[in-house]
A and B are shown apart, each in its own frame.
Chain A
Amino acid sequence: MIQIQNVGFKRADKTILEATQLSLEARQSIALIGPNGAGKSTLLSLMARLLPLQTGQILFDHLDISTTPSQVMAKKVGILEQHSHFMSRLTVQDLLLYARYPYHRGRPKSDDYDVVEKMLAYFELSKLRATFLDELSGGQRQMALVAMVFCQGTDYILLDEPLNNLDMYHARHLMTTLRRAIVDWNKTIVIVLHDINYASLYADHIVALKQGAILFQGAPSEVLTSDNVQALYGVEVDIIEHQGKRLSLHF
């Protein structure tokens, strides 16, 4: 369970995130949606300890992120940022092995190789194991990065707009793989999404942010109404039901 208590964030007197209360059940996928600049990435970065907490508390299964040692948190929460800036001439296999750092501290053991092997197979990357990241296509690269976060073996996984720049095939493939992984390994995933329909189809719980505050939250079938979506994005939409899921038409 994730508990966010009274967490706010200011940058140069500008409030990015107002004091937020949020309690999220484990073992489900949680989508963060909202317009640009709503504070989604900020909230995710705060949860991942990439930004310092200015006020309040964040707990993952009663582990307080500001008092728990970072080696312990590294086995609890993994994050994939929107832009990962790093020297990317690593092979897919090495990248996955590096994500095992919380366990091997730079000296990989056979367990770590086993996990990497399992993840390479699960994410269908076995054939690309020796390929350098900068030689992969955008879709393959994103899949490798997601596999890397899963290699970290954390209960909680935070993903910041993983579908950016992915074509229809790769976006769908990534979301179905994520969906399957949640069930297979009892993961809890918090994912920032821009496409409201992906949120509706793949998330168990939606949290909508606007101007640094939570506008609404709940199951997609309850909260995705045309009034809510219009209030969130300022766009008129039609909500239709298709095979028991709500879809938004906004073109």
Chain B
Amino acid sequence: MKPFSYGLLASVFLLILGAFSLFVGAYSISIMDIWRQPEVSNVMISSRIPRTLAVLIVGSILGIVGCLSQSAMNNVFAEPTTLGTPQGIALGLLLCSVLFPEIGLLGKMLLGAGMGLFSLLVFFALLQKLTLSDPLQLPLIGLVYSAILGAGVTFLAFEFDRMQMLTVWLNGDFATIIQGRYELLWGALIIGVMAYWMANQFSMLGMGEDLARTLGVPYRALVFIALAMIALATSLVVATVGMISFLGLVIPNIVRQYCGDNLKQSLPWCAWMGASSLLLCDVIGRLLTHPLEVPANLVFAVFAGTVFLVMLWRGDRRAL
């Protein structure tokens, strides 16, 4: 099959899944009702459509962000969750709500992104000091790093009585998404498009600092741009719906089996696969305990954990 027809097939699949998602929820809707009953079209416009769009954007941007992290850190296990980024962002958001409670959503987001970027830069600097003998050491170091950041954040949240906010930020859930509460995510999508536009440059980062530098690639500057994009996009996700853990780890690693490390080829597939798998998980979450819900983050964690274990089991260290 030609790449074009793969793309067509993928788009059709996503469209069907998206349409299906519109009709799953606590309030049951049939296609006929939309035109007959005004309150039904209201549910559609204010809740179901925003929710579906939010899931699609978050899934695709986290797929892209994961892929970008792996090139920037030159390590296949890198993604925001294994780099402590959500904790860094949560720290920024928390400081914001304590110090500048009146600042508004955008300012909050920028401060979150700033702290996220800072935590990424510290991690990157740390990585330069160490020589990893196995790529698996990165998530181990990342785990310790996240735990330290996480402890600080938890302490602050506890002191200022904001534990609930912290839980919301670190556990992605789409149940609360309604019209007017997800629109910032379109910004994340713009970052995704920019990442694709710069895909060839970012692919060069995966060749490592020495090789990139001898080719005249402005390595440090590009890493900084990549990390800034990762921090900003992740911050938008954390502040609106909360983090979906390990999506950026599992999806890009499945995609790279087929598309390799050329981001021009792999990024669109990371976006597609991230979006469709997260939407699938969200729909399953809505159906499992209907009319109650299981958060998408939990369903995805089960899915991602299984895939990850299978990959490790197959001993595909190189490919992972």
Contacts and interface: CB of A to CB of B under 8 A. Distances in A.
Interface of A: 48-50, 70-71, 73-75, 77-79, 81, 84-91, 94, 98-99, 101-102, 105-108, 132, 134, 152
A80 to B, nearest CB: 9
B214 A108 contact: no
A101 B261 contact: no
Nearest to A158: B214
Give the dominant DSSP class at A's interface: loop
A101 B260 contact: no
Contacts of B216: 70-71, 73-75, 101-102
Given A84-B207, A90-B262, 18 more contacts: A50-B210, A50-B214, A70-B216, A74-B215, A74-B216, A75-B216, A78-B214, A81-B210, A84-B208, A84-B210, A86-B208, A87-B74, A88-B261, A90-B260, A91-B262, A101-B215, A102-B216, A134-B319
Given A98-B203, A98-B207, A87 B215 contact: no
A134 B318 contact: yes
B74 A99 contact: no
A90 B74 CA distance: 13
A50 B213 contact: yes
Contacts of A49: 213-214
Contacts of B310: none
A99 B217 CA distance: 10
B214 A74 contact: yes
A81 B209 CA distance: 12
A102 B200 contact: no
30 contacts: A48-B214, A71-B216, A74-B215, A78-B214, A81-B210, A84-B207, A85-B74, A85-B208, A86-B211, A87-B70, A87-B71, A87-B76, A88-B261, A89-B260, A89-B261, A90-B203, A90-B206, A90-B261, A91-B260, A94-B262, A98-B203, A98-B207, A98-B215, A101-B216, A102-B215, A105-B201, A106-B198, A106-B200, A106-B204, A108-B200
Contacts of B319: 89, 134
B213 A86 contact: no
Contacts of A134: 318-319
